[in-house]
Amino acid sequence: MRFKRVYIEITNTCNLACSFCIQNQRQPRRMNIQEFTHVIQEVRSVTRHVYLHVLGEPLSHPDLPAFLQICKANDMEVILTTNGTLLKKQVDALCASQCIRQLNISLHSFPQHEQPRYLETIWECAEKLAACGIHVNYRLWSIQDEKLSKETQTLLTTVVKQYQKNLEDVIIKRMHRFDLADHIHLHFENIFTWPSLMNPFVSKTGSCLGMKSMCGVLVDGTLVPCCLDSKGDIALGNLFETPLEEILSSKRCLKMLEGFQKHQVEEALCQHCTYRLRFL
């Protein structure tokens, strides 16, 4: 079994509490170097791309530079998603890592905190990262009814002006990328609802990319089928206790995958998830 990406949650704590985030409801935790090394050694047989994020702010982890070196030593390409507030502290380590392919900055978090000089710091760091060949995606994942909120629209205007682009040239639609400069991009997406067993039932039919092209490892080693299982509701096993190969060949894992192949949704969390409707 091969995956296009594996999400690894190196910490489930964050320095912000944004309204669009489901917020961590598990015991606060960080992976240590030994645990992270073990996870990388397990997943390197099924992917070359790791996303150091499920919940939490990855740039807050004190061992992030060491984690990046572990990824480089294992020939793994890294994608990071951050709110950007700690970027200045980590930018030199990111540039020196030689394994980061892309850095996603959730600019739509800005109206939630409005940190002094936040945008100016983002511009400066993005320029450094781009010069090192790292792609920087400014995420504006706040489209609703094909429009941005008033706050996000104002932010978009500021970003476009910074890069001396024409606002009229920017197409606002989901999954659209607009190039601002070499290796620096705008990326749009719709607002989404985090799946939860408390959400309304959707259906028992459909498909998803979970366990087909992706899976996730939570901070305590729990293997989950996708990056949106923030509570570990679909706990397929634990990498700190069971080899990945054994988990992937388990009855529950195979039943879930076979169900998606037959357009059947086996797991309760997936039956209450609206995000998977995007893959119809």
According to the model, what pLDDT value does residue 152 have? 87
User: What is the C-alpha to C-alpha distance for residues 221 and 39, in angstroms, rounded to an integer?
Assistant: 8
Under 8 Å between Cβ of 135 and 104: no
Question: Residue 62 belongs to what domain range?
Answer: 5-190
pLDDT tens, 65-81?
999 999 999 999 999 99
Q: Which two tokens stand for residue 188?
A: 């749009």
Answer whether residue 81 is part of any domain: yes
Instruction: Indicate which CATH number applies to the domain containing 16.
Output: 3.20.20.70
Answer whether residue 225 is part of any domain: no
Answer whether residue 265 is part of any domain: no
Burial class (CB in 10 A: 0-12, 13-18, 19+), 88: middle
Positions of the chain with pLDDT lower than 70, given as ranges: 1
Answer whether residue 160 is part of any domain: yes
- State pTM to two decimals: 0.94
Answer whether residue 200 is part of any domain: no
Answer whether residue 146 is part of any domain: yes
Task: Identify which of 132, 140, 133 has the alpha carbon closest to the alpha carbon of residue 111.
Answer: 140
According to the model, what pLDDT value does residue 108 have? 81
Under 8 Å between Cβ of 255 and 266: yes
According to the model, what pLDDT value does residue 123 have? 96
Answer whether residue 197 is part of any domain: no
According to the model, what pLDDT value does residue 20 have? 80
Answer whether residue 61 is part of any domain: yes
How many domains does one find in the chain? 1
